[in-house]
Amino acid sequence: MPGAESVTPTIPERLWIANGWEDAAGGGTFPTSNPATDEVLARVPAAEAEDVDRAVGAARGAMENPDWCRMSPHGRAELLWKLADAIEAEADELATLETLDNGKTYFESRKVDLPSVVENFRYFAGLADKIQGATIPVAGPFLNYTLREPVGVVGCIVPWNFPLSLAAWKVAPALACGNAIVLKPAEQTPLTALRLGELAGRVGFPPGVLNVVSGFGETAGAALVRHADVDAIAFTGSTPVGKTIMREAAETLKKVSLELGGKSPNIVFADADLKDAVRGASTGIFYGKGEVCAAGSRILVQRTVYDDFVAAMADRAEKTVIGDPMRRDTRLGAIVSEEQLERVLDYVEAGQADGARLVAGGERARVDGRGNFVTATVFADVEPEMKIAQEEIFGPVAAIMPFEDLDDAIRMANRTIYGLAAGIWTRDIGKAHRVAAEVRAGTVWVNTYNQYDSASPFGGYKHSGFGRDLGWEAAIEKYTQVKSVWVAMDR
Ligand code: ADP
């Protein structure tokens, strides 16, 4: 990987508040470790309500500071662009940090996550000076126009699977729209988010515009959601926590957006290019260790090609190399934590107990005698009501099910509480469009999977949440509010 060498990263060990490093007021810390080796990487502060209050106070201060609230949109664009440049300059280091903290392969961190984070900040830099209101033709002698104003203080709560990318998905548009932010990364993976705060301060964002507090969901996260001076919560995480956040945010009537779990169908028709479909289905579930909210975890395959598909998928899974995430030939890194590993193995057990046929993987593995690894796992003959077909596993576990015809496929695809994404593999363009229209999911991929772009909205239907990340329209909807101004013209 030329130009992508891992380097020894600087490990942040304090909270980033008002452009300075701080300890938690209570002095509490917690360890964050490397899931591939079990080694503790750092102890970071465990922010409590008092620390969150300090960070929110800093953010509110930024919203009242003319250096930020009166900064021209061009100024915001310039700062966002500089932040993208700073991230790009430190991409090797940030990618290393991400891999050490999360266990994903360095290839994924360096070649996929980091470039997309840089591009994300540049895309939203481009939005900053294009946010505008309208002049509205109202009845009577009035001029009526709208202003698009920042929502205010935004609490961003992100999970551990794409720590820096998902932080960027929220931070970049929220800053472009002129808000101030308190970002709470997941307790499993706080390191790159803390570095992001530092980089924002370094490139010139005024104090308090971006604060980063490491801490636990039930303490720091909950305090952010409950805080009376936070105007909006942008959340990515599990569906149960999303429900709690929505309930908790009701008390202070915050604007809430939720990008939650999924159990996405990847539908393979008999007329598909089977080689492509197998490749797509396997990256759909094994990329990112399957710790991907849009993972194509339910693979629906038309009966006439079912046996061939199952055999090819099992073969690919067996060849998926588990190893040190820093190694070039590793395709499956370490599961983020021991707790998550147990969860994944429990689902493997449930699949077997329910009578699904295990055709590949299903085992715990170690690399050099350590770490949280699970082999690429494929279940065939899964029934739609089985646990492994209904619940989000968040691990490298595929559930394959046969279907008969197009109507059957659509029915099965929609037989879930979730609606985040779906994949369709067919050479029949009419069939592709019909399924794309009828599947209830926020993103549909045809003859491809796991494509993202800052310009294209991403988010869920049903229990996968509401509100969209990415895309300029979704950003304006989420991170601004509209003010209607009336001017009498006859006096
Ligand atoms: P995952 O299953 O990916 O761990 P979670 O929904 O548990 O997803 O976590 C996503 C984020 O939500 C993390 O930053 C976590 O700390 C935070 N979180 C967990 N519980 C709460 C809560 N009650 N209130 C606010 N944030 C929370």
What was the pLDDT predicted at 2?
39
Q: CB-based contacts of 42: which residues, under 8 Å, 6+ apart?
A: 11, 12, 13, 31, 32, 191
Which of the four pLDDT bands, split at 50, 70 and 90, describes residue 1?
Answer: very low
pLDDT, residue 27, reads 96
Q: What is the 3-state secondary structure (H, E, C) of the chain?
A: CCCCCCCCCCCCCCEEECCEEECCCCCCEEEEECCCCCCEEEEEECCCHHHHHHHHHHHHHHHHCHHHHCCCHHHHHHHHHHHHHHHHHCHHHHHHHHHHHHCCCHHHHHHHHHHHHHHHHHHHHHHHCCCCCCEECCCCCEEEEEEEEECCEEEEECCCCCHHHHHHHHHHHHHHCCCEEEEECCCCCCHHHHHHHHHHHHHCCCCCCEEECCCCHHHHHHHHHHCCCCCEEEEECCHHHHHHHHHHHHCCCCEEEEECCCCCEEEECCCCCHHHHHHHHHHHHHHHHHCCCCCCCEEEEEHHHHHHHHHHHHHHHHCCCECCCCCCCCCECCCCCHHHHHHHHHHHHHHHHCCCEEEECCCEEEECCEEEEECCEEEECCCCCCHHHHCCCCCCEEEEEEECCHHHHHHHHCCCCEECEEEEECCCHHHHHHHHHHCCCCEEEECCCCCCCCCCCECCEECCEECCECCHHHHHHHHEEEEEEEEECCC
Q: How many angstroms is it from 402 CA to the middle of ligand 1?
A: 34
Say what the pLDDT of residue 8 is: 85
Average pLDDT, integer, range 10-36: 96
Q: What is the pTM of this model?
A: 0.97
Give, using CA atoms, the residue closest to atom 25 of ligand 1.
Answer: 221
The per-residue pLDDT for 68 is 98
Q: Residue with the nearest Cα to atom 17 of ligand 1? A: 217
pLDDT of residue 3: 42
Of 134, 404, 389, nearest to 264 (Cα)? 389
Distance 244 CA to ligand 1 centre (A): 10
Asked if residue 469 lies in contact with residue 454, where contact means CB atoms within 8 angstroms, the answer is: no
Q: How far is the CA of 184 from the centre of ligand 1 (A)?
A: 9
Q: Which residues pair with 299 in a beta bridge?
A: 266, 400
Check residue 7 and give its pLDDT.
Answer: 78
pLDDT in tens, 214-238: 999 999 999 999 999 999 999 999 9
Residue from 218, 241, 289 to probe ligand 1 pocket by mutation (most atoms less than 8 Å from CB): 241
Residue to mutate (ligand 1; options 30, 44, 102, 157; most atoms within 8 A of CB): 157
Is the shortest distance between the CB of 186 and ligand 1 below 6 Å? yes
pLDDT tens digit sequence for 99-132: 999 999 999 999 999 999 999 999 999 999 999 9
Number of C-beta neighbours around residue 64 at 10 A: 10
Over range 8-17, report the average pLDDT: 92
What's residue 97's pLDDT? 97
- The percentage of residues in the chain with a pLDDT greater than 90, rounded to a whole number, is 97
* Gap from CA of 241 to ligand 1 centroid (Å): 6
Please write the tens of the pLDDT for every residue from 242-287: 999 999 999 999 999 999 999 999 999 999 999 999 999 999 999 9
**Ligand 1 pocket member 392 (CB < 6 A):** no
Question: Which atom of ligand 1 lies at the shortest distance from residue 187's CA?
Answer: 16
Say if ligand 1 is within 6 A of residue 184 CB: yes
Q: Which residues belong to the active site?
A: 259, 293
Position in ligand 1 atom list of the atom nearest CA 240: 6
**Helix 274-286 vs helix 303-318: crossing angle, to nearest 10:** 50
- Give the mean model confidence (pLDDT) for residues 291-314: 98
157 C-beta closer than 6 A to ligand 1: yes
Predicted pLDDT of residue 4: 54
Does ligand 1 have an atom closer than 6 angstroms to the CB of 293?
no
Q: Is the CB of 217 under 6 A from ligand 1?
A: yes
**407-454 pLDDT tens trace:** 999 999 999 999 999 999 999 999 999 999 999 999 999 999 999 999
And the tokens for 348? 């493997």
Residue 342: which pLDDT band, with cuts at 50, 70 and 90? Answer: very high
Which residue's alpha carbon is nearest to atom 7 within ligand 1? Answer: 238
